[in-house]
Amino acid sequence: MPGSYLILLSRQGKVRLAKWFTTLSPKEKAKIIKDVSQLVLARRTRMCNFLEYKDSKIVYRRYASLFFIAGCASTDNELITLEIVHRYVEQMDKYYGNVCELDIIFNFQKAYFILDELLLAGEMQESSKKNVLRVISAQDSIEDTEVSGAWLFRFYGVELCCYTFTAPGRYPYPLIH
Amino acid sequence: MRGLVQFIADLRNARARELEEKRINKELANIRQKFKDGNLSGYHKKKYVCKLLYIYILGWNVDFGHLEAVNLISANKYSEKQIGYLAMTLFLHEQHELLHLVVNSIRKDLMDHNELFNCLALHAIANVGGREMGEALSGEVHRLLISPTSKAFVKKKAALTLLRLYRKHPDIVQPQWAERIISLMDDADMGVALSVTSLVMALAQDQPEQYKGSYVKAAARMKRILVDGEYAADYLYYKVPCPWIQVKLLRLLQYYPPSEDTHVRDLIRESLQKILNLALEMPKNVQQNNAQNAVLFEAINLIIHLDTEQALMKQISTRLGKFIQSRETNVRYLGLEAMTHLAARAETLDPIKQHQAIIIGSLKDRDISVRRKGLDLLYSMCDQTNAQPIVGELLQYLQNADFAIREEMVLKIAILTEKYATDIQWYVDISLRLIAMAGDHVSDEVWQRVIQIVTNNEELQVYAAQNILQYVKADHCHETLVKIGGYILGEFGHLIADDKGGSPIEQFLALYGKLQGCSSGTRAIILSCFIKFVNLFPEIKPRIMYVFETYSYTLDSELQQRACEYLALARLPTDDLLRTVCDEMPPFPERQSALLSRLHQKHANTSDKRTWVVGGKDANANERDFTLSKNPGLKRAFSSANGRMPQSNGAANGTNGMNGYSGVTNDLAGLNMNDAGPSEPKTLKVPNLASAAHLSPDWEIGYNKLLLKGEGVLYEDGQIQIGVRSEYRSQMACVILYFSNKAPTAVTSFTTTLDLEPAEKENLSWEVKGLPESTIHEGAQSQQMIMFEAKKVFDKSPTIRISYLAGALQALTLKLPVVIHKFMDPAELTADDFFKRWKQIGGAPREAQRIFGVKGGKDGGREFNDSFIRETVEGFRWGVLDGVDPNKKNFVGASVLHTGDGGKFGCLLRLEPNYGTQKVRLTIRATDESVSPILIKLMEERLAIGVSTAPETTEAPTFRDISDAFGNVLVP
């Protein structure tokens, strides 16, 4: 059951994260992102979380301002793919604490690292939140010994405030809770 | 990285795209300059690469800095390395030239002592690994997977990395890895088990035989999770125990035909029932609900696949009925999908037909995803009895259907109409109405197929001609209908020429009226129709000649050529050539419907094997490769079937309107789609490690002992002791194997596989009544019970492969002491009876005789003696008849051999030893000629071992020895 991609798309249609599990040319990737954005953004609430797209299937779910879109084979189990997405969101929530879109924007590399701990080659590798967190924490502690004060910047702290002041009216909403 | 955060904040504040672009260009220029100047610290390199990554993720093109990014991989600091690897997976693809540069850095990280470095390297390979990387690094990846010292979090990454490499290049996974990889499915760590199961799923799809051991493993693990509750608390996902692995295991079980082993079937049934029971509760929590349903729907798929579990099947059909009416859109969608699977497999469609109204209703669902599934299901559940209402509904829905699915709908309607038509009028009516309604969405295959069917079925022709004429006469008529009209009227117009409203001139005017508004291809068809009219209806020839003349000046060269040629043809002094050219078209050659291939093209080539396809039972008839169903040919049996169509002389050539029709092979080309796909099954011959060809050293010591005994030790080494206890009752045998772990630690993934030469399987059958525990703790014991039945006389003994993980993988192949003589019962006969029967049986072929000595001759230190021979003869279950033979030294024996299908055989033995020459003459007579050669061979082999001539040096075993050796064997 190979997933073929995972895309995090804002409601404005901006890509926040894209991970490809199959080899595609930049052109094919751009085409998929364009098509998939169109399809998903046009969906209304209370519709089902699955869509057919060419020979594949799209499993998507909206979390606050972000759409999480997983592409998979048409034979795949849709609901379990949906829960992979949810586990990813939960995992980020556990790490960042009340994760919101801004966390993913400002710490995009961490979002990728967490994803690498959950999915590899498009397959779920670990569903224990604790185990994933343990590995990510181990990474962080290495970084802390290497770069003094890294922990200060890991969470954007000051910058977030400056962001909210300069863009009034657009507050970071937590993805879950 | 304050600079990065600032940069991202700047970009977010850029309200317009131009501002964003300006800021990005400024930054790109800055970074380019910094890289050019060189001399950057690792921290700065990392920061700039991060900025580039962010720009890249936003969708801008980043065409420099890749080398700097890749260089970070060889940094010493983990944080820099990590960004380097991230950049590599985002910027580079598997054929990128820079990847050559990093193979060595990756190898170094794979071999590093720090597991986090191993993980980075594995991520890199799993993301961008291609053939070259696979060839260079797969050995290391495999080592990390199987090494007993690998941590769980490295193992699972190694498993999935190997999966990626396998998908890219199947040869990378070597055949001899199979047993070891399968054994990891039992890993105590759920993450490892999950990842390895994913790997095994891919491998088992391509090489089912080599990975068949995974079937029992999957069934057993499923049961351990669901029934025994064997999982760490952390793997409960909203009260559902690791739904991911459950789904994988259930899917893996669908890749194999149902097991014949009742024990394995029981395991699976128990798990499935448990899943169904758990699902009776409808949890409120969304996640729990989803996870539970994910497992439930996979279980339903497995139940449908097994197709033997009537009780479970009944439960699911009622539930599916509820699902398709669920308020939850996801459940409706999945319910329809599962029902489509059911329709593809079920013996009868009745349980589905009950819900026909609801399913038709789903075509009006507000969600297109659900509507599509409804369409699939209607298509699959259609048969002779409900075709007319279903097609009617589909046609009605077609008018309002989304553009996205119209073409598919048209195809499906066309296929159903053709497949289930029993009535001429219905077929023609529906086909033409379909095209009239959905003209723009009708692919060429559809209208061409209509023409083929009409041409090949004489009883359709008049009705089709009448109808199409009506359509063409109408003011608004879709061009596709005009094409059909052009062909049908040209061929069969004369059949309706006497009808009211069907006179030649009316036919001509109808088509002529459409000529102006049509595309060039259609006009060509009409012109060809007109030349046929010239032949059929000479009375309208002048008007037609006028049309040809006009068209001989047209700018379209194809049309102009046609017009000129037709003009010339019609002006010839005699109409011989015209008549030949315009002769009736011969029937089209039988071929598979291009419609189906067209439909299936849409669904071809997904990376996972489909275990079924949309389209009812006959589409799934060919389970092996799911090529298209055996489709009825062009000639259909309609209710008013007339005689066969007269064969015309086949003079048709390219001048008629059907130019595109030479390509039968083209039509069929699309059918071959199942060969496509990334990994073709390998034809490589794999050794069957459980077979007698791979017996482990020293297997024969215990086996030879047990030939003469019902119980004892079959095998023993430093780690394991295998004991056997057996009981024989006529043709049935109950064999219990006891496995004792002598190692100081627990052994895991304990697996046994029975094997027997295929030719012998009908002579000796077995049923496994229980499997040993997967984990055997130190000093503990596990057992396996197997029932054998001797159906006929058999020659070869079954073998057993035993494998387990004790650090590395340990494996043994042993021969089981289940031999034909074990099914004999000693018989008592008087001397008179014995000799009477001895004579009755007579000589060859029912007699076998051998003269032989001890293997290795006299000097081998082994000999025959009276007690040895007596022991052996009795061990072979002969009733030794003392005092029957006049020579006291000779042995005479009798026994009855029991087999299930073959019945009973009487067997007699005479053994004449000569202790002087150390030779024996052995004669066996049996009531059937198949028995004596086998018995004599077995006895010769065993007797030839002889007994040691050396004086008994070993003392009799003490009580302690005995209890050590047999204690836990004999007292279960």
The DSSP line for B512-530 is: HHHHTTS-HHHHHHHHHHH
In terms of CA atoms, which chain A residue is nearest residue B606?
A73
Residue B895: Cβ within 10 Å count: 22
Cα B316 to its chain centre, rounded Å, is 23
Say how far apart CA B198 and CA B886 lie, in whole Å.
72
Q: Are B568 and B552 in contact (CB under 8 A)?
A: no
Which pair of structure tokens corresponds to residue A18?
Answer: 């894209």
- The values of phi and psi at residue B159, to 5°, are -60, -45
Per-residue CA distances from A126 to A84, B193, B195, B790 (Å): 10, 10, 8, 48
The domain spans of chain A are 3-128, 145-176
Which of B1, B8, B89, B231 is the best substitution to test chain A (most A C-beta atoms within 10 A)? B8
Nearest Cα to Cα of residue B159 among B131, B130, B119, B132: B119
CB-CB under 8 Å, B6 with A106: no
Whose structure tokens read 């064969």? B647
CA-based nearest distance A17→chain B, Å: 7
CB pairs < 8 Å spanning A and B? 198
Nearest chain B residue to A115 by CA: give it.
B123
Nearest chain A CA: its distance from B169 CA (Å): 13
| Segment holding B715, helix H or strand E | strand B711-716
Residue bearing tokens 């008007």: B543
**Residue among B93, B156, B605 whose CB faces A126 most closely:** B156
Burial of A70 (0-12, 13-18, 19+ CB in 10 A): buried
DSSP character at residue B751: E
| CA–CA distance, B410 with A108 (Å, rounded to integer) | 46
Mind telling me how many Å the CA of B288 is from chain A's nearest CA? Answer: 9
Q: How far apart are CA A163 and CA A156, in angstroms?
A: 10
CB atoms within 10 A of CB B948: 13
Question: Apex CA B283: angle with CA B278 and CA B288, to 5°?
Answer: 85
Average pLDDT, chain A: 85
Q: Residue A17's pLDDT band (boundaries 50, 70, 90)?
A: very high
Secondary structure in 3-state letters for A70-84 = EEEECCCCHHHHHHH
Phi, psi of B363 (to 5 degrees): -65, -15
The pair of three-digit structure tokens given for residue B618, joined into one six-digit string = 């006959």
Per the CB < 8 A criterion, the answer to whether B368 and A50 are in contact is no
- A128 Cβ partners below 8 Å, 6+ apart? B190, B191, B232, B234, B235
Distance CA B807, CA B168 (A): 30
Residues contacting B440, CB < 8 A, separation 6+: B478
Q: B5 to chain A, minimum CA–CA distance in Å?
A: 6
Residues ≥6 apart with Cβ < 8 Å to A44: none
Q: Output DSSP code: residue B324.
A: T
**CA pair distance B325, B845, nearest whole angstrom:** 73
DSSP assignment letter at B759 = G
Strands B847-853 and B919-926, by their bridges, are: antiparallel
- pLDDT score of B972: 42
The token pair at B456 is: 């090949």
Distance between B631 CA and the closest CA of chain A, angstroms: 24
A137 part of contact set with chain B, CB < 8 Å: no
Q: Which two tokens stand for residue A66?
A: 């972000």
SS (H, E, C) B229-271: CCCCHHHEECCEECHHHHHHHHHHHHCCCCCCCHHHHHHHHHH
Contact B290 A121 (CB under 8 A): no
pLDDT score at B642: 37
A152 touches chain B (CB under 8 A): no
Angle in degrees, 0-180, between the axes of helices B541-551 and B520-536, rounded to the nearest 10: 150
Q: Which residue of B has its CA nearest to A165?
A: B13
Length of chain A: 177
Any CB–CB contact under 8 A between A161 and chain B? no
Hey, what are B893's tokens?
Answer: 């024996």
For residue B268 the two structure tokens come to 């699976």
The CATH T-level fold of domain A3-128 is Beta-Lactamase (3.30.450)
pTM reported for the whole predicted model: 0.82
> Closest approach of chain A CAs to the CA of B163, in angstroms?
7
Shortest CA distance to B471 belongs to which of B461, B462, B458, B480?
Answer: B480
- In the stretch 82-121 of chain A, residues with CB closer than 8 A to chain B read 82-84, 86-87, 105-106, 108-109, 112-113, 116, 120-121
User: For residue B950, is it left (φ>0), alpha (ψ between -120 and 50) or beta?
Assistant: beta
Instruction: Quick: pLDDT tens for A59-83.
Output: 999 999 899 999 999 889 999 999 9
Bridge partners, A5 (sequence order)? A20, A71
Q: The tokens 């909203």 sit on which residue?
A: B238
**CA of B521 vs chain A CAs: smallest distance (Å):** 30
User: Is the ipTM value over 0.95, yes or no?
Assistant: no
Supply B673's token pair. Answer: 């789609």
Q: What are phi and psi of B770, to 5 degrees?
A: -170, 150
Residues 6+ apart with CB under 8 A from B804: B183, B720, B747, B748, B749, B750, B751, B776, B810, B811
How far is residue B82's CA from residue B50's CA, in Å, rounded to a whole number? 11
d(CA B537, CA A99): 81
Residues (pLDDT < 50) of chain B are: 604-606, 623-632, 639-683, 970-972
Test B367 with A150 for CB contact under 8 angstroms: no
Q: Does A143 sit within 8 Å of B78, measured CB to CB?
A: yes
State residue B54's pLDDT score. Answer: 94
Residues of chain B found within 8 Å of residue A86, distances taken between Cβ atoms:
287, 290
Closest CA to B87 of A16, A104, B117, B79: B79
Distance CA(B88)–CA(B83), nearest Å, equals 8
* Residues forming a β-bridge with B600: none
Chain B residues close to A147, C-beta within 8 Å: 43, 77, 79
**How far B592 CA sits from the closest chain A CA (Å)?**
23
- Residue B79: which of A105, A116, A147 has the nearest Cβ? A147
Token code pair at residue B910: 């005479």
- Give me Rg for the CA atoms of chain B: 39
Q: Phi first, then psi: give them for residue B517, nearest 5 degrees.
A: -85, 5
15-44 in A: which are within 8 Å (CB) of B?
Answer: 15-18, 23-25, 30, 33
Nearest to B244 among A80, A138, A142 (CB): A80
Which pair of tokens denotes residue B40? 């950057």
Torsion angle in degrees (nearest 10) through CA of B871, B875, B878, B880? 20
Six token digits for residue B833: 């009876």
**Cβ atoms within 10 Å of A158's Cβ, excluding its own:** 12
Q: Give the dihedral of Cα atoms B736, B738, B739, B740; nearest 10 deg.
A: 180
d(CA B818, CA B790): 10
Whether residue B606 and residue A73 make contact (CB cut-off 8 A), yes or no, is: yes
Q: How far apart are CA B193 and CA B183, in angstroms?
A: 10
> For B155, phi and psi rounded to 5 degrees?
-55, -45
Q: What is the pLDDT of residues B269-285, one digit of tens each?
A: 999 999 999 999 888 89
β-partners of residue B727 are: B734
Single-letter amino acid code for the residue at B798: P
Among chain A residues, CA nearest to B90:
A19
On whether any CB of chain B is under 8 Å from the CB of A52, the answer is yes
Cα nearest neighbour of B163 on chain A? A121
Sort out which chain B residues have CB atoms less than 8 A from A33's CB and list them.
59
The rounded distance, in Å, linking the Cα atoms of B747 and B741 is 7
Residues flagged as binding site of B: 2-3, 34, 43, 47-51
Q: Give the ranges where chain A is alpha helix by DSSP (H).
A: 26-41, 78-96, 101-106, 108-118, 129-146, 150-154, 158-166
Helix, strand or coil, per DSSP, at residue B129: coil
What pLDDT does residue B968 have? Answer: 55
Q: Are A39 and B404 in contact (CB under 8 A)?
A: no
Mutate to test the interface with B, among A14, A24, A127 (most CBs of B within 10 A): A127
pLDDT for B441:
79
The bridge status of strand B781-790 relative to strand B732-741 is antiparallel
Residue A128 CA: distances (Å) to CA of A83, B80, B165, B842: 13, 27, 25, 75
Q: In chain B, count of helices (H) and strands (E)? A: 39, 18
Note the pLDDT of residue B741: 92
- Cα separation, B99 vs B85, in Å, equals 11
